[in-house]
Amino acid sequence: MALRVEKSPDAVLLYLACVRVGAALLPMNPAYTADEVAHLVADAEPALHLDDAGLAALVAGAASNPERFDDVDIGPDDLAAVLYTSGTTGRPKGAMLSHRNLASNAAVLHELWGFGPDDVLLHVLPIFHTHGLFVAINCVLANGSGMVFLPRFDVDDVLAALPRCTVLMGVPTHYTRLLDDPRFDVGVCADVRLFISGSAPLLAATHGAFAARTGHPILERYGMTETSMIASNPLAGERRPGTVGFPLPGTDVRLAEDETIEVRGPNVFSGYWRRPELVATEFTADGWFRTGDIGEFDDDGYLRIVGRAKDLVISGGLNVYPKEVEDVVDAIDGVLECAVVGVPDPDLGEAVLAVVVPVAGRVVDPAEVRAAARERLAAFKVPKRVELVEALPRNAMGKVTKAELRKRFGG
Ligand code: MCA
Ligand code: AMP
């Protein structure tokens, strides 16, 4: 069941309904363009495709249904959800998550982070990703905890709601935006017991500034759509800035020869929807999933993510695959070729930058490049900045040296 709706309690109930009737949920970003939706729908071929009107009709019709129904008999290996990630080839692929994947991660996390019935989670994340849909909501559901469910992250709304809450889960941009507001102080978080961050690297400086302002060391954890959560700093014990803590109980983490992180465990997905050939490349021969993140363990066993072997930009906690943006920009009239990279950004962590080579003799207007890209891409993927160059830097193999572009334009 493909679901492309605004965030609402009904959408959460629909997720639960899918789990109970054995339908696999495919959540989509409502901000996706028609192009992006068409790609996913063509690949997934969902039996049902619900938008906001469809969901409203379903809810209205549900009033005449019996109050109770039996769960459909579902096994741990049955499919619970398909979440699309664009992938480094630019072609979206659906990560198949089983009931075991979701349930095992939920069981580990709610215990590890000490969730109880008296907790109230402040929910500010979108619900079409693992972070907002599974990590946050499943920790709450596992305990019957409360939830303040905001439609989106807005500093004013967060400041108003936080005094009623005990836990906040966010991406680093949420925490830097809170710190940028002088109203955010110890008083606002008097009842909060835990701030959790993930989806993108939390700078040690942000961790330090947050602890100084509030007395709370943010708990950073690490995960991926394909694996759900992999590692977490401890609830009790030192939360070490710049690290993502220890592998979760039941999840094994190892470093390959090239230092990339490999993962195995009940949380790890089985493969991509209708792409069986990818199992051979995305998993090792002995069955570990290759994350594409580069890591190291410090002397005390804390895992530190030091880089990415995959070509990926994480902007405000949302993944942007350069290849997907490059394909769109390359197709714009007057563009010969382009390269898309992430450059440091104080708000988003990384911002999308397109370095464009115009066709000889043609004048290309950066604003027009952005406007043309926006027609085909959701706003968060559109380059925040466009730089024009005569040629892209290349290595001896003819490959664009993105590191050089990041160095040149990243200042
Ligand atoms: C919105 N825009 C963005 C982003 N979000 N551009 C780049 N990066 C973004 N993340 C666009 C808007 O569409 C708008 O475009 C313009 O930028 C300004 O938007 P703004 O008002 O600043 O945006 P916002 O609505 O305040 O959103 C920023 C945000 C949001 C609060 C940081 O993006 C967010 O909540 N991010 C969290 C994402 C998340 O949940 N990630 C988890 C997935 P225009 O002006 O053109 O309209 S990763 C995951 O699940 C793994 C498993 C994990 O480990 O957690
Ligand atoms: P996604 O495919 O949207 O699930 O994004 C997963 C990617 O987000 C991971 O492979 C990492 O590169 C990144 N990520 C998630 N959490 C962290 C973190 N705490 N620190 C650094 N990177 C992270």
pLDDT at residue 86 tops 90: no
Average pLDDT, the chain: 96
The residue type found at 323 is: K
6-60 per-position pLDDT tens digit: 999 999 999 999 999 999 999 999 999 999 999 999 999 999 999 999 999 999 9
383-395 per-position pLDDT tens digit: 999 999 999 999 9
Fold of 100-308: Rossmann fold (3.40.50)
Residue 15 Cα to chain centre, angstroms = 18
Q: Ligand 2 pocket test: which of 195, 303, 305, 381 has the largest number of ligand atoms within 8 Å of its C-beta?
A: 305
How far is the C-alpha of 62 from the C-alpha of 64, rounded, in Å?
5
Query: Under CATH, which number does the domain 313-409 receive?
Result: 3.30.300.30
Q: How far is the CA of 177 from the centre of ligand 1 (A)?
A: 12
Task: Band the pLDDT of 69: cuts 50, 70, 90.
Answer: confident
What is the sign of the dihedral through the CA atoms of 33, 37, 38 and 40?
positive
Strands 289-297 and 260-264: antiparallel
What per-residue confidence (pLDDT) applies to 89? 73
What per-residue confidence (pLDDT) applies to 403? 95
What's the token pair of residue 354? 């397109």
280-310 per-position pLDDT tens digit: 999 999 999 999 999 999 999 999 999 999 9
Q: How far is the CA of 317 from the centre of ligand 2 (A)?
A: 8
The residue type found at 5 is: V
Q: Name the residue among 326, 299, 320 with its Cα closest to residue 308.
A: 320
Asked if residues 71 and 234 have their Cβ atoms less than 8 Å apart, the reply is no
Q: Which of 11-25, 81-95, 182-196, 266-280 has the lowest mean pLDDT?
A: 81-95
101-128 per-position pLDDT tens digit: 999 999 999 999 999 999 999 999 999 9
What's the token pair of residue 246? 């220890």
Are 100-308 and 313-409 in the same CATH fold? no
Residue 240 Cα to chain centre, angstroms = 22
Burial label for 100, CB within 10 Å (0-12, 13-18, 19+), is middle
List all residues whose CB is within 6 A of at least one atom of ligand 1: 125-126, 129-132, 152-153, 171, 173, 198-199, 223-225, 315-318, 348, 379-380
Query: Going edge to edge, which strands form the sheet with 146-149?
Result: 146-149, 120-123, 167-170, 194-197, 219-224, 228-232, 246-247
What per-residue confidence (pLDDT) applies to 223? 98
Conformational region of residue 245, where left means phi above 0, alpha means psi within -120 to 50, and beta covers everything else: left
How far is the C-alpha of 195 from the C-alpha of 311, rounded, in Å?
29
Q: How far is the CA of 185 from the centre of ligand 1 (A)?
A: 24
pLDDT at residue 237 tops 90: yes
Q: How far is the CA of 252 from the centre of ligand 1 (A)?
A: 31
What per-residue confidence (pLDDT) applies to 336? 97
What per-residue confidence (pLDDT) applies to 145? 97
Share of residues in the chain with pLDDT > 70 (%): 100
Task: Band the pLDDT of 332: cuts 50, 70, 90.
Answer: very high
pLDDT at residue 88 tops 80: no
146-178 per-position pLDDT tens digit: 999 999 999 999 999 999 999 999 999 999 999
Each domain of the chain, given as residue ranges in start order, spans: 1-74, 100-308, 313-409
How far is the C-alpha of 121 from the C-alpha of 110, rounded, in Å?
12
What's the token pair of residue 91? 């072609």
Burial label for 107, CB within 10 Å (0-12, 13-18, 19+), is middle
Q: Please, which residues bridge with residue 171 across strands?
A: none
What per-residue confidence (pLDDT) applies to 116? 97
Q: Is the CB of 293 under 6 A from ligand 2?
A: yes
Residue with tokens 């619970």: 80
- Give the pTM: 0.96
How far is the C-alpha of 230 from the C-alpha of 253, rounded, in Å?
8
Mean pLDDT of 356-366: 96
